[in-house]
Amino acid sequence: MKDKRFNLASRLIHWAIAFTFLYLLLTVLLRMGWMNKNNMGSIMQNGLAEKGVTIDDDTAGTVAKQVRRPMWGTHTIAGYVLVGLYIIRMIIFAVQGITFGSPFKKDSTTYQRFRSWVYLLFYVFVAVSLITGLLIEFGPDSIHEPSEEIHKLSLYYMVSFIALHLAGVVIADGGKERGIISKMVSGEEPA
Protein backbone atom coordinates (compact mmCIF):
# COMPACT_ATOMS: atom_id res chain seq x y z
CA MET A 1 0.00 0.00 0.00
CA LYS A 2 1.31 3.43 -0.98
CA ASP A 3 1.93 5.88 1.88
CA LYS A 4 -0.82 8.54 1.76
CA ARG A 5 1.73 11.23 2.70
CA PHE A 6 3.17 10.92 -0.79
CA ASN A 7 0.09 10.86 -3.01
CA LEU A 8 -0.27 13.70 -5.50
CA ALA A 9 -2.82 15.72 -3.49
CA SER A 10 -0.71 15.62 -0.32
CA ARG A 11 2.50 16.50 -2.16
CA LEU A 12 0.92 19.38 -4.08
CA ILE A 13 -0.66 20.89 -0.98
CA HIS A 14 2.59 20.42 0.97
CA TRP A 15 4.64 22.31 -1.60
CA ALA A 16 2.00 25.00 -2.13
CA ILE A 17 1.91 25.63 1.64
CA ALA A 18 5.72 25.55 1.83
CA PHE A 19 6.21 28.11 -0.95
CA THR A 20 3.45 30.33 0.40
CA PHE A 21 5.05 30.19 3.85
CA LEU A 22 8.45 31.08 2.42
CA TYR A 23 6.94 34.01 0.52
CA LEU A 24 5.17 35.26 3.66
CA LEU A 25 8.43 34.95 5.57
CA LEU A 26 10.27 36.88 2.85
CA THR A 27 7.78 39.75 3.01
CA VAL A 28 8.07 39.88 6.82
CA LEU A 29 11.86 39.88 6.68
CA LEU A 30 11.85 42.59 4.00
CA ARG A 31 9.52 44.72 6.09
CA MET A 32 11.67 44.25 9.20
CA GLY A 33 14.97 44.80 7.41
CA TRP A 34 15.72 46.46 4.11
CA MET A 35 12.19 47.87 3.65
CA ASN A 36 11.84 48.99 7.27
CA LYS A 37 10.19 52.42 7.24
CA ASN A 38 13.04 54.02 9.20
CA ASN A 39 15.73 52.49 6.99
CA MET A 40 13.93 53.45 3.78
CA GLY A 41 13.11 56.89 5.19
CA SER A 42 16.78 57.48 5.94
CA ILE A 43 17.75 56.42 2.39
CA MET A 44 15.16 58.85 0.99
CA GLN A 45 16.33 61.67 3.22
CA ASN A 46 19.96 61.12 2.16
CA GLY A 47 19.04 60.92 -1.52
CA LEU A 48 16.91 64.05 -1.38
CA ALA A 49 19.57 65.89 0.65
CA GLU A 50 21.97 65.36 -2.27
CA LYS A 51 19.44 67.29 -4.40
CA GLY A 52 19.09 70.04 -1.79
CA VAL A 53 15.70 68.83 -0.52
CA THR A 54 15.10 68.06 3.14
CA ILE A 55 12.21 66.21 4.72
CA ASP A 56 11.61 65.40 8.38
CA ASP A 57 11.68 61.87 9.81
CA ASP A 58 7.88 61.59 10.01
CA THR A 59 7.41 62.52 6.35
CA ALA A 60 10.21 60.15 5.30
CA GLY A 61 8.58 57.33 7.30
CA THR A 62 5.17 58.05 5.76
CA VAL A 63 6.58 58.01 2.22
CA ALA A 64 8.55 54.82 3.00
CA LYS A 65 5.32 53.11 4.12
CA GLN A 66 3.69 54.14 0.84
CA VAL A 67 6.62 52.75 -1.16
CA ARG A 68 6.46 49.37 0.55
CA ARG A 69 2.63 49.17 0.57
CA PRO A 70 2.44 47.22 -2.75
CA MET A 71 4.92 44.64 -1.43
CA TRP A 72 3.02 44.38 1.84
CA GLY A 73 -0.22 44.01 -0.11
CA THR A 74 1.18 40.80 -1.58
CA HIS A 75 1.70 39.55 2.00
CA THR A 76 -2.04 39.93 2.54
CA ILE A 77 -2.83 38.18 -0.76
CA ALA A 78 -0.48 35.32 0.18
CA GLY A 79 -2.30 35.13 3.52
CA TYR A 80 -5.61 34.65 1.68
CA VAL A 81 -3.96 31.95 -0.44
CA LEU A 82 -2.75 30.25 2.75
CA VAL A 83 -6.29 30.34 4.18
CA GLY A 84 -7.47 28.42 1.11
CA LEU A 85 -4.56 25.99 1.24
CA TYR A 86 -5.14 25.39 4.95
CA ILE A 87 -8.80 24.57 4.31
CA ILE A 88 -7.79 22.20 1.51
CA ARG A 89 -5.22 20.56 3.84
CA MET A 90 -7.90 20.05 6.49
CA ILE A 91 -10.21 18.50 3.87
CA ILE A 92 -7.41 16.15 2.79
CA PHE A 93 -6.88 15.19 6.45
CA ALA A 94 -10.63 14.58 6.84
CA VAL A 95 -10.74 12.38 3.73
CA GLN A 96 -7.40 10.54 4.01
CA GLY A 97 -6.76 10.77 7.73
CA ILE A 98 -4.09 12.67 9.60
CA THR A 99 -0.64 11.56 8.50
CA PHE A 100 1.41 12.53 11.54
CA GLY A 101 -0.26 10.42 14.23
CA SER A 102 -1.56 11.33 17.65
CA PRO A 103 0.82 12.61 20.33
CA PHE A 104 -1.42 10.87 22.88
CA LYS A 105 -0.98 7.37 21.44
CA LYS A 106 0.38 5.16 24.23
CA ASP A 107 2.62 2.90 22.13
CA SER A 108 4.36 5.78 20.32
CA THR A 109 8.09 6.29 20.66
CA THR A 110 9.41 9.55 22.09
CA TYR A 111 10.42 10.58 18.56
CA GLN A 112 6.92 9.87 17.19
CA ARG A 113 5.30 11.81 20.03
CA PHE A 114 7.67 14.75 19.52
CA ARG A 115 7.01 14.75 15.78
CA SER A 116 3.25 14.57 16.34
CA TRP A 117 3.35 17.46 18.81
CA VAL A 118 5.40 19.57 16.38
CA TYR A 119 2.86 19.03 13.59
CA LEU A 120 -0.15 19.47 15.86
CA LEU A 121 1.22 22.74 17.25
CA PHE A 122 2.15 23.86 13.74
CA TYR A 123 -1.42 23.47 12.50
CA VAL A 124 -2.83 25.16 15.61
CA PHE A 125 -0.40 28.08 15.25
CA VAL A 126 -1.15 28.39 11.54
CA ALA A 127 -4.87 28.57 12.38
CA VAL A 128 -4.18 31.30 14.96
CA SER A 129 -2.07 33.22 12.42
CA LEU A 130 -4.77 32.96 9.79
CA ILE A 131 -7.55 33.97 12.17
CA THR A 132 -5.60 36.94 13.53
CA GLY A 133 -4.65 37.99 9.99
CA LEU A 134 -8.31 37.92 8.99
CA LEU A 135 -9.23 39.85 12.15
CA ILE A 136 -6.64 42.51 11.27
CA GLU A 137 -8.25 42.89 7.85
CA PHE A 138 -11.93 42.43 8.68
CA GLY A 139 -12.35 42.49 12.45
CA PRO A 140 -13.62 45.33 14.60
CA ASP A 141 -11.19 48.13 15.47
CA SER A 142 -11.40 47.17 19.15
CA ILE A 143 -9.42 43.96 18.54
CA HIS A 144 -7.14 45.19 15.74
CA GLU A 145 -4.13 45.91 17.97
CA PRO A 146 -4.21 42.67 20.03
CA SER A 147 -4.76 40.66 16.84
CA GLU A 148 -1.78 42.37 15.23
CA GLU A 149 0.44 41.67 18.25
CA ILE A 150 -0.49 37.98 18.24
CA HIS A 151 -0.12 37.82 14.45
CA LYS A 152 3.42 39.25 14.64
CA LEU A 153 4.43 36.33 16.89
CA SER A 154 3.87 34.04 13.87
CA LEU A 155 7.41 34.80 12.76
CA TYR A 156 8.80 32.81 15.69
CA TYR A 157 6.84 29.63 15.09
CA MET A 158 7.36 29.90 11.31
CA VAL A 159 11.13 30.03 11.59
CA SER A 160 11.19 27.39 14.36
CA PHE A 161 8.97 25.01 12.41
CA ILE A 162 10.92 25.43 9.17
CA ALA A 163 14.19 24.68 11.01
CA LEU A 164 12.74 21.68 12.89
CA HIS A 165 11.03 20.36 9.76
CA LEU A 166 14.13 20.59 7.57
CA ALA A 167 16.35 19.04 10.25
CA GLY A 168 13.82 16.27 10.88
CA VAL A 169 13.46 15.46 7.19
CA VAL A 170 17.23 15.30 6.68
CA ILE A 171 17.65 13.10 9.77
CA ALA A 172 14.75 10.84 8.71
CA ASP A 173 16.10 10.57 5.15
CA GLY A 174 19.48 9.50 6.50
CA GLY A 175 17.93 7.05 8.94
CA LYS A 176 14.75 4.98 9.20
CA GLU A 177 12.81 6.80 6.46
CA ARG A 178 15.42 6.63 3.74
CA GLY A 179 14.19 8.21 0.52
CA ILE A 180 11.56 10.43 2.17
CA ILE A 181 12.85 13.52 0.32
CA SER A 182 12.60 11.77 -3.06
CA LYS A 183 9.11 10.53 -2.25
CA MET A 184 7.95 14.02 -1.26
CA VAL A 185 9.21 15.39 -4.57
CA SER A 186 8.23 12.62 -6.99
CA GLY A 187 5.94 10.36 -5.02
CA GLU A 188 8.15 7.41 -5.96
CA GLU A 189 10.65 5.34 -4.04
CA PRO A 190 14.25 6.20 -4.97
CA ALA A 191 15.92 3.72 -7.31
Supply the pLDDT for residue 3: 63
Enumerate the domain spans of the chain. Answer: 1-99, 102-191
Supply the pLDDT for residue 191: 61
Supply the pLDDT for residue 145: 96
Supply the pLDDT for residue 134: 97
Give pLDDT tens digits for 120-154.
999 999 999 999 999 999 999 999 999 999 999 99
Record the pTM. 0.86
- Give Dmax over CA atoms of the chain in angstroms: 73
User: How many CA atoms within 13 Å lie on the side-chain side of 60?
Assistant: 20
- Burial pattern 140-169, b for ≥16 Cβ within 10 A else e, equals eeeeeeebeebbeebeebbeebeebeeebe
CA-CA distance, 115 to 11, in Å (whole number)?
19
Query: Would you give per-residue pLDDT tens digits along the chain (191 residues)?
Result: 456 678 888 889 999 999 999 999 999 999 988 888 889 999 999 999 999 999 999 999 999 999 999 999 999 999 999 999 999 999 998 998 888 888 888 888 888 899 899 999 999 999 999 999 999 999 999 999 999 999 999 989 999 999 999 998 999 888 888 888 888 888 776 66
SS (H, E, C) 140-162: CHHHHHHHHHHHHCHHHHHHHHH
